[in-house]
Amino acid sequence: MAEVRARCEEEKLRLTPARECVLNALLEAHRAMTAYELLDRLRDEGLPHQPPVAYRALDFLVEHGFAHRIERLSAFVACTHGSDHHAAAFLVCRGCRTVAESKLPAPIRGIEETMSRESFTVERLVVEAEGLCAACAEAGTDTP
Amino acid sequence: MAEVRARCEEEKLRLTPARECVLNALLEAHRAMTAYELLDRLRDEGLPHQPPVAYRALDFLVEHGFAHRIERLSAFVACTHGSDHHAAAFLVCRGCRTVAESKLPAPIRGIEETMSRESFTVERLVVEAEGLCAACAEAGTDTP
DNA sequence: GCATAATTGTAATGTTATAACAGTTCGGCT
DNA sequence: AGCCGAACTGTTATAACATTACAATTATGC
Ligand SMILES: [Zn+2]
Ligand SMILES: [Zn+2]
Ligand SMILES: [Zn+2]
Ligand SMILES: [Zn+2]
């Protein structure tokens, strides 16, 4: 959080109350949260809590690399790697919705050939592995 | 479509009218369609058209590998590779919503180490590249 | 034929996301 | 200090996507 504040100072970004509240919630949760869960948090903090408030804060956080959207969950997590808008892969537990973030250093074999064959311009790459984390696999969340 | 009918015969799957109508729509479209677009199609064909009809047909088609869900679009495409429930990567054009499917032969470098470190069990892998297809890049869909 | 499992029909509801627009605050400029 | 335009906020309304629940029907194996 201190890191984030520093980066905002440095890059002249405005970390307004709603944005800070949303980021704090994500940092504390250590798991993916939906926009509406974040709205609840905003309400608890006495901040305005109509849907656009959360979505605007999330747009800001995602745009500047402080958070990521998890497509599989229609939900959001705090970024666990400092650097700006990097490509990443996510391990998404369907049991507890925790998300582990892994840097994505290498291009993905199999996709580049199709890309070049179709001359497709990639702007964003989504890589999400859905499954069970160690704790949920142990607990048998799949076959209760 | 003939192929699909053959596989259903072989595996004793019931390709009911709603399921067939939805699959036909997807095969003809050559692009991702939402559940509600498919409901319109069902209505046009005189079939029932409440949301669960489309979602149930799509569940069937996805489960048996005849279609894929594109998370980025909350939409669905027909599978362009015959074999059953294979991993795949998708090139998703944000201009025209066409989707190119690429087989995903190799594991993704960078994600396995995190997987094993966290002892995470992967059940499904989502790989979607969002960008512009050649036609849309040409047409300048991004800066109109 | 009869039990069972799979599928269908339908209403109601829940969840996720955006459009639109008036008002306010911020930062740079003169 | 006063003004401008850009960024941001507050709010209402609505669009788009998805599921629950339950009764009714149809297929399949014995
Ligand atoms: Zn990150
Ligand atoms: Zn878990
Ligand atoms: Zn496929
Ligand atoms: Zn296109």
Report the CATH number that the domain containing residue A51 is assigned in CATH.
1.10.10.10
Closest listed residue to residue A144, CA positions, set A73, A93, A91, A95: A95
**How many structural domains does chain A have?**
1
Q: What is the pLDDT of residue A58?
A: 98
| Protein residue with the closest CA to the C1' atom of nucleotide D10 | A48
The pLDDT score that the predictor gives to residue A41 is: 97
Q: Which residues of chain B lie closer than 8 angstroms to A125, CB-CB? A: 127-130
Residues of B with CB under 8 A from a CB of A: 71-72, 89, 91, 93-94, 100, 102-106, 108-111, 113-115, 118-134, 137
**Token pair of B82, please?**
């015959």
Domain span at A57: 2-139
Averaged pLDDT, A115-125:
87
Q: Indicate whether B92 belongs to any domain.
A: yes
Q: How far apart are CA B61 and CA B47, in angstroms?
A: 18
Domain contains A125: yes
The answer to whether residue A113 scores a pLDDT higher than 70 is: yes
- Strand A88-93 relative to strand A99-103, pairing: antiparallel
Average pLDDT, stretch B72-93? 90
- Alpha carbon B85 to its chain centroid, in Å, reads 11
Look at A93 and B131 and tell me if their CB atoms are within 8 Å.
no
Query: What pLDDT, on the 0 to 100 scale, is given for residue B144?
Result: 38
Question: How far out from the chain centre does Cα B59 lie?
Answer: 11
Residue B94, in any domain of the structure: yes
Higher confidence at residue A108 or residue A75? A75
Answer yes or no: are the C-beta atoms of A97 and A32 closer than 8 Å.
Answer: yes
Name the pTM for this structure.
0.93
- In our burial notation (b when 16+ CB lie closer than 10 A, e otherwise), range B30-39 reads ebbbebebbb
From the CA of B4, how far away is ligand 3's center (Å)?
Answer: 13
Q: Would you say residue B100 lies in a domain?
A: yes
Report yes or no on A144 lying in a domain. Answer: no
Which single residue is written with the structure tokens 């804060």? Answer: A57
- What is B83-115 written as a DSSP string? SSS--EEEEEETTT--EEEEE--SPPTTHHHHH
Instruction: For residue A30, tell me if it sits in a domain.
Output: yes
On strand C, nucleotides with any atom < 7 Å from a protein CB are: 6-13, 15-20, 26-27
Asked whether residue A71's C-beta has any atom of DNA/RNA strand D within 7 A, the reply is no
Segment A99-103 mean pLDDT: 90
Q: Are A128 and A89 in contact (CB under 8 A)?
A: yes
Please indicate, yes or no, if residue B144 is contained in any of the structural domains: no
Greatest Cα-to-Cα distance within chain B, rounded to the nearest angstrom: 53
Query: A141 CA to D27 C1', in Å?
Result: 33
